[in-house]
Chain A
């Protein structure tokens, strides 16, 4: 059996851990630069908040209905997520952290030791709430897809009390007839629509299809999903998250950029972020894409993009920064107020299985990058960084409604009345 443990509106719940007077209240969390609503809890959605709506459109509703708005405090979320994952890990021999608020558990070879899975799931929920003050839901199933479906039911349907175990055939069938294929992991909006056009409207209908009955135009991925819905394991940890084929780091600016030097700094920062990610997954990049644009709502929208090629491919930040610096004049035009900038590392290939070019000597592999990564891992990100990023980043993020970093900054630890 597998379980999926998932926090309920994680960002909002994390904001409430050290602000007990916010618990139970409607809350939203805004994206970088306080632009969009990226998270909303149940109470806020009930009041009419829509996710991914621009904040300025919802601001009036927030003020009128007393909905609390916060800038995203990723420092806090990352630390609380780490603690939550450690508590969850105690309850199974194997854990796979899937995202900041979701982790899969595998109960292979030990299902017999846990006769009552629903009770075990309640224990997980109680322990996570007691020790981290974060609410979670638990779904159990024979495959990762079923665990995910079970989690969806546990979270969204009343009467399940945050736990759903799909181990009984008649119960599973009954639930599946009421679920839409769009609620199944891996079935996107397009696929769901296409299924509907073929009058497949429930998960039960989908699960009974054999490969021959599958309408034309559906890929092997859907076949695997159907097998998984029938309890046949097709997806494992390694396949649920393969290495990324492209890495992007992009952001809209808190304050518009009008200087060449500032544009170079912002791009250098994004290149550094992307390069760290490439090194983490041991990938090399053959093409660097750099872009800078003002807002599409500006009077004369303009957008510039360049591609830099590397042979041999690289993940060395110094090389990326040099390429940006050499080409900055193609991106920067005086008079443009840049709003959105970013970089993309494209054509990624594995560092381990690299195909060397006969005529291009391999780059000397200096340990500088790994030393830099180790320093930042140990002492906190951006403890050591390239000066090209700038020291006082005037173009930095706007986070006007930011809560303190309660668990990662000594000066922000919560006050306790005595």
Chain B
């Protein structure tokens, strides 16, 4: 006589979540902080001249190259080969600081100057970030 063993099992299915019809994507920091992913770069603030707009040394700056620059934007510029973060005053051709201890910079004819992008967000780490910590 041949036996074919079949294991008996009782299925456990549980209950469908009452919230399953209301599922949404969780909040994404990427979506909040980066508006144009292919045109955005991230840099690190170095210096104290922008404290008046809440940018402190070591803060993370999110720089968008897609958006059109407006008067009074906080921008990153390439001034004579260096990235610099200032407030742009177009008519006066002026890079303004946001700290009384620092001077504004006038853009002259002989300067190499290009606007690299608009600082659309800045991030402060109130506790040190492990990702940003420099391993020695």
* A57 CB-CB contact with B under 8 Å: no
Q: Which of B44, B55, B134 contacts A414 (CB 8 A)?
A: B44
Interface string of A391-418 (1 = CB under 8 A from B): 0000000000000001100110111111
- Known contacts A132-B65, A417-B46, A418-B49: A20-B82 contact under CB 8 Å: yes
- Known contacts A130-B66, A417-B83: A83-B44 contact under CB 8 Å: no
B36 to chain A, nearest CB (A): 7
Q: Which of B44, B48, B131 contacts A416 (CB 8 A)?
A: B44
* A78 CB-CB contact with B under 8 Å: no
A411 near B43 with CB under 8 A, answer no
Q: How far is B26's CA from A137's CA once the two chains are assembled, in angstroms? A: 41
Q: Which residues of A contact B85 (CB under 8 A)?
A: 416-418
B65 near A133 with CB under 8 A, answer yes
A87 near B39 with CB under 8 A, answer yes
Q: How far is B63's CA from A251's CA once the two chains are assembled, in angstroms? A: 38
B65 near A418 with CB under 8 A, answer no
Interface of A is mostly: helix
Q: How far is B39's CA from A417's CA once the two chains are assembled, in angstroms? A: 21
Q: Which residues of B contact A131 (CB under 8 A)?
A: 36, 38-39, 65-66
Interface string of B38-79 (1 = CB under 8 A from A): 110111111111100001010011010110000000001010
Q: Which residues of A contact B63 (CB under 8 A)?
A: 416
Closest to B115 in A: A130
A260-303 residues at the B interface, CB under 8 angstroms: none
* B84 CB-CB contact with A under 8 Å: yes
Chain B interface residue count, CB cutoff 8 Å, equals 37
Closest to B64 in A: A131
Q: Which residues of A contact B45 (CB under 8 A)?
A: 416, 418
- Known contacts A20-B81, A410-B131, A411-B135: A416-B39 contact under CB 8 Å: no
B110 to chain A, nearest CB (A): 15
* A86 CB-CB contact with B under 8 Å: yes
B65 near A406 with CB under 8 A, answer no
A23 to chain B, nearest CB (A): 8
A416 near B38 with CB under 8 A, answer no
A115-140 residues at the B interface, CB under 8 angstroms: 130-133
Q: How far is B57's CA from A44's CA once the two chains are assembled, in angstroms? A: 37
* A190 CB-CB contact with B under 8 Å: no
Q: Which of B57, B60, B80 contacts A418 (CB 8 A)?
A: B57
* A21 CB-CB contact with B under 8 Å: yes
> Which of A23, A86, A133 has the largest number of chain B CB atoms within 10 A?
A133
- Known contacts A130-B66, A131-B38: A416-B76 contact under CB 8 Å: yes
A86 near B49 with CB under 8 A, answer no
A404 to chain B, nearest CB (A): 12
B55 near A418 with CB under 8 A, answer yes
- Known contacts A86-B37, A87-B38, A87-B39: A414-B83 contact under CB 8 Å: yes
A-contacting residues of B (Cβ < 8 Å)? 36-39, 41-50, 55, 57, 60-61, 63, 65-66, 76, 78, 80-85, 114, 116, 129, 131-135
8 A–B contacts from the bound complex (CB under 8 Å): A20-B82, A131-B36, A132-B38, A407-B41, A411-B135, A413-B44, A416-B85, A418-B50
B-contacting residues of A (Cβ < 8 Å)? 18, 20-23, 82-84, 86-87, 130-133, 406-407, 410-411, 413-418
Given contact pairs A83-B37, A133-B116, A418-B45, a sample of 12 additional A-B residue pairs in the complex whose CB atoms are under 8 Å apart: A20-B78, A83-B38, A84-B38, A86-B38, A130-B39, A133-B65, A411-B132, A411-B135, A413-B60, A415-B44, A416-B45, A418-B57
